[in-house]
């Protein structure tokens, strides 16, 4: 009776693009117009921060409480310190 496999415990190598996604962290950006939230989200998602700012400005006029979410993000997301 055979138990298990010869490959049990073998962990395949992780591709570089997956490592990059795993190692990414969300920080508030250094280019602060207002708290650096949009800059940090843009850097994290690799989208221009101006587009993120326009999306936030457009969402202000929706029933979704975007201002509350922005303030919570301001409190929760750490600031990135540059050396």
List, for residues 31-45, the tens digit of each pLDDT value: 767 777 888 888 888
52-78 per-residue burial string, b: 16 or more CB within 10 A, e: under 16 = bbeebeeeeeeeeebeeebeebeeebe
At 8 the pLDDT is: 63
| Confidence at residue 7, expressed as pLDDT on a 0 to 100 scale | 59
Q: What is the pLDDT of residue 27?
A: 76
Per cent of the chain over pLDDT 90 is 0
- The boundaries of the domain holding residue 36 are 29-76
Residue 5 belongs to a domain: no
Does residue 58 sit within a domain?
Answer: yes
**What is the pTM (predicted TM-score) of this model?**
0.60
12 lies in a domain? no
Q: Is residue 51 part of a domain?
A: yes
Residue 69 lies in a domain: yes
Q: What is the count of structural domains for the chain?
A: 1
Residue 44, in any domain of the structure: yes
């Amino acid at each position: 009776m055979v138990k298990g496999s010869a490959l049990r415990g073998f962990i395949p190598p992780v591709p570089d693009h997956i490592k990059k996604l795993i190692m990414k962290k969300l920080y508030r950006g250094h280019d602060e117009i207002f708290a650096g939230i949009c800059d940090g989200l843009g850097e994290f998602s690799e989208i221009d921060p101006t587009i993120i700012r326009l999306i936030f400005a457009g969402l202000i006029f929706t029933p979704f409480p975007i201002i509350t979410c922005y303030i919570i993000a301001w409190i929760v997301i750490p600031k990135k310190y540059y050396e």
